[in-house]
Structures are given as structure tokens and as C-alpha cells.
Structure 1
Amino acid sequence: RGEDGTAIFAMSDQKDVALEIHVTNLPSDPAEPQRDGDDAHEAVLTATFPEELPYSAVPALCPQDKPVVCLANQNGSQVECELGNPLKRGAQVRFYLILSTLGITLQTTDLAVELALSTISEQPGLEPVVARARVVIELPLSVTGVAVPPRLFFGGVVRGESAVRRESQVGSAVRFEVTVSNRGQSLKTLGSAFLTLQWPHEISNGKWLLYPLQLELAAAPGSRASCSPAANPLLLALVGRWAGVGRW
């Protein structure tokens, strides 16, 4: 929960979330229980859900517990649950509603579920209750990298930047293959993930150490990927296709 007591829903790869419901029919004043707290006839809970979090199911309870019967509308935006006819004086009912998270997107920042009790018995001040939660998206991203070849040896004449015109003049090439993967579910919406790469750029005298010659991006179909700044800032003439860096 947050500092203000609001629940925080951290979403990663789960497809469902459980909403706990606790309904009581207790006297309003325990010191004078005889004043109220009668049986509640045709007691019903109506829950209304946002489109990002539709109703899915009610899980089975222990055999000794009385099952709660819930009936949902076609799109799962509302469900009515029968709590008892009557719901006895002093009774308590606890059950769970399973809600689907497939509608949650990167733009979803909070969720609100309205819970309303009704009964044909006299029950003054029976106001709806709103269950709120803030949404935090957690994507299980992983990054791996490998250098090909894993070892390099450099030598020869060190050229100044102004003397280099072609790819062949920057030295031996090394390819760094970096793979970013998402082991969780897709959010079915446009979103961005950023990867920052750092490498030894220059030596103490200002000469290039590793020069970014070319970048190749292989993304999933329908994905858009780009890099900034672009590789090959000196606009050297390229001979082959390299997705790595050279040295000079």
C-alpha cells in the first residue's frame, strides 16, 4: 500500500487478480446490539468494474463453506452476487472475485471497483464503497551481451581523426551482440523501452579507442526500434556490413 493507504497493484505477467470481498451483518453499535442488526432479506452485492479489469470468475471455496452465486453481464463490467436470503443477523460472508488484467495498458494508472449492497429489508445509510488501486507496470526485461570475437589484439600506426576516410583504416572490427527480451506478457499497446550502452570511447590523449561503425537492429514484427545518436559519426566509407565497433 502507498503512504495514503491506497493499494498498489504491481503488474508483471499475471493474467488475473483477486478482489477480496468481506460483507457483515452486525449491529452498528456493539454496546447496544438489540437496537438493530436484523436479518437482511434478498441481500445482494453489485460490483461494477472498469473496462481494463473485467470480471472473470468466483473461485471455488472449501466444501464446508456456502458458495456465493454471482451472475455477470456479457462484457464482465458488472456482477451481482447473492449473499443470502436472508443474510442472518451477525453473519459474515467472505469471498473473492477473480478479475482479468488483459485490458490493462501502459496508460492505466489507477483502477476503481464500485461495490454496492442492497436488501429489501430496512437498511438506512447503505452507501456504495469504492475499492481503489494504483497501477505500477513491471516488465520482466532481461539483457544479455556477447562480443564476437571475444579477444582482440591491436597494433600498427595510430592515425589521427582527420587522416581516416575508410572503414578499413579503423582497425580490426568486433561485433557486440546485445539481446533484450521480455519474459512477461505483451501490454497490447504502444510503449517504449530504452537501453543505454556505454563503452570505452577514447583514451587519455583524446584518440578514439572504440569507434561505433554501424548498428543493426533486429526487432519483432510490428515493432519499431531506433538508436540515437547514429553510428559512424565521421561518415567513413563502409565496405562491409558490421554491427560492431573498430579501433584506431
Structure 2
Amino acid sequence: RGDDGAAILAISDQKDVALEIHVTNKPSEPAEPQRDGDDAHEALLSASFPPELPYSALRQDEGRPAPVLCLANQNGSRVECELGNPLQRGAEVRFFLILSTSGITLQTTDLAVELALSTISEQPGLAPVVARARVVIELPLSVTGVAVPPRLFFGGTVRGESAVKHESQVGSAVRFEVTVSNRGQSLKTLGSAFLTLLWPHELPNGKWLLYPLHLELAVSPGQALPCSPAANPLRLALVRPRCGDAL
């Protein structure tokens, strides 16, 4: 739960979650049990689910002698569970509704499930209950990087920025390859995750140390997208790579 007491549903790679249901038929005043309380005939629980969290299955409480029977509609947005006929006075029923997380996206911030009890027996004040939870998406992302070559030596003539016109004048090339891996559920859209790269930009005297010539995002084999901001801010003349050469 959060600091405010609200339930938090943390989603990573699990395909379903369990909603625990606990129904009791006990006297309203435990100190005076003789005042009220009776068997609840045709006791029924109705549950309504949001599209992001449809009903999937029922898990029984192993200690319950009589099983709960649940019937859901076709899209899993509603389910009705028979609790007993009758649900005896003083009885407790505990079971779990298994809900699918397949509809939850990165845009899902909260979920609400409405639970309503009904019985043909007299039961005043039987109001629906709403189970709410905030959704937190936990993506098991990892980042690795490698530099080729792993070591560079600086030398040669130092030129001012205005004197540099061609790629060959910025020094030895080094390729930094960064790989982002996601071991959890799909991001659905690549724009939902961002990677910020920081590198030694310039020396204390204001001279360039590492100048970005090429920046690209390889989303799939043979497909590359530009990064922001764009590389080569000085618009130097670049050497076109030969067939088979790596950028």
C-alpha cells in the first residue's frame, strides 16, 4: 500500500493477479448476537471489472467444504458467484477471483472493481463495495555499453572550432554501442521509454573532447531512427561509409 493507504498494483511480467473475496454472514452486533442474523437465501456476489482487468478464473479456498460457483459473461467484464443457498448464519466464505492483466498499458493509472452482494432474505443496508488500486508499471530494463576501441590516444594539431570542416579533422573515431534490454512485458510503443546519454563534451578551455558524428537508434535489424538532439552540430563534411563498414 501507498503512504495514503491506497492499494498499489505493481505490474511487471505477471499475466494475472488475484482479488481476494471475503464474505461473512454474521450478526451486526457481536455483543448481542440474538438481535439479528439469519441464513441468507440465494446469496450472490456480482463483480464488475474494467476492460483493462477482465475476469479470468476462480480459485477456491481449499478449506471450504462447499465450492463457490462463478459464471462470467463473454468478455469477462462481469461475473456472478453463488455463495450458498442458504449462506448460513455465522458463515464465512473466502475465495479468489483471478484477473487478467493483458489489458493494462503504460497509460493505466488506476483500476476499480465493483462488488455487490444480494440475497432474497431481508438484509438492509447491503451497499456495493468498490475495490480500488493504483497501478505501477515496473519494467525490468537494463543498460549495457561498450566502446570500440576501448582506449584512445590524443595528439596532433589542435584546431579551433571554426577551422574544422571535415570529419577527418576531429580526431580518431570511437564507437559507443549501448544496448537496452527489457525482460518484462512489451512497451507497446517505443516512445514510452527514454535513454539519456551523457559523455565528456569539452575540456576546461572550451575545446571539444568527444564530438558526436553519428547518433542512431536501431529498433530492429535494418531499421534505424534518429536521436535528439541531432549529431554533428557543426555540420562537418562526413565520409560516406563503404559497404560493410560500421558507423
Global fold match (TM > 0.5): yes
**Structure 1: how far apart are the matches of 2:59 and 2:39?**
26
Q: Structure 1 pair 64/44, CA: closer, same or farther in 2 (3 Å)?
A: closer
Indicate the RMSD between aligned Cα atoms, in angstroms. 2.0
**Structure 2: how far apart are the matches of 1:4 and 1:224?**
44
**Structure 2: how far apart are the matches of 1:127 and 1:228?**
54
Superposed displacement of residue 108, structure 1: 1.2
**Structure 2: how far apart are the matches of 1:189 and 1:6?**
29
Gaps of 5+ in 1: none
Corresponding residue for 1:151?
Answer: 151
CA contact (8 A) 2:216 2:224 kept: no
Q: Structure 1 pair 64/21, CA: closer, same or farther in 2 (3 Å)?
A: closer
Corresponding residue for 1:235?
Answer: 235
Corresponding residue for 1:79?
Answer: 79
Superposed displacement of residue 59, structure 1: 2.0
1:36-72 C-alpha deviation (Å, 9 max, x unpaired): 1100011110000001100000124427643211110
- Residue 169 of structure 2 aligns to a residue whose secondary structure is helix
Corresponding residue for 2:34?
Answer: 34
Larger mean CA deviation between 232-241 and 111-120 belongs to 232-241
Superposed displacement of residue 106, structure 1: 1.8
**Structure 2: how far apart are the matches of 1:64 and 1:6?**
30
Q: Does residue 56 of structure 2 align to residue 56 of structure 1?
A: yes
Q: Structure 1 pair 225/79, CA: closer, same or farther in 2 (3 Å)?
A: farther
**Structure 1: how far apart are the matches of 2:206 and 2:246?**
24
Name the count of aligned residue pairs: 243
**Structure 2: how far apart are the matches of 1:119 and 1:189?**
46
**Structure 2: how far apart are the matches of 1:117 and 1:141?**
42
For residues 114-125 of structure 1, the aligned pairs below 5 Å read: 114-125=114-125
- Residue 98 of structure 2 aligns to a residue whose secondary structure is strand
Corresponding residue for 1:110?
Answer: 110
Corresponding residue for 1:99?
Answer: 99
- Residue 171 of structure 1 aligns to a residue whose secondary structure is coil
Q: Structure 1 pair 224/160, CA: closer, same or farther in 2 (3 Å)?
A: closer
Q: Does residue 160 of structure 2 align to residue 160 of structure 1?
A: yes
**Structure 2: how far apart are the matches of 1:90 and 1:189?**
52
Superposed displacement of residue 130, structure 1: 0.4
Superposed displacement of residue 237, structure 1: 0.5
CA contact (8 A) 1:106 1:191 kept: no
What fraction of aligned residue pairs are identical, expressed as a percent? 82
Superposed displacement of residue 188, structure 1: 3.5
**Structure 1: how far apart are the matches of 2:187 and 2:99?**
16
Q: TM-score, normalised by structure 1?
A: 0.92
**Structure 2: how far apart are the matches of 1:151 and 1:3?**
49
Q: TM-score, normalised by structure 2?
A: 0.92
CA contact (8 A) 1:50 1:111 kept: yes
Corresponding residue for 1:20?
Answer: 20
CA contact (8 A) 1:105 1:189 kept: no
Gaps of 5+ in 2: none
1:115-134 C-alpha deviation (Å, 9 max, x unpaired): 00011111111110000001
**Structure 2: how far apart are the matches of 1:10 and 1:145?**
29
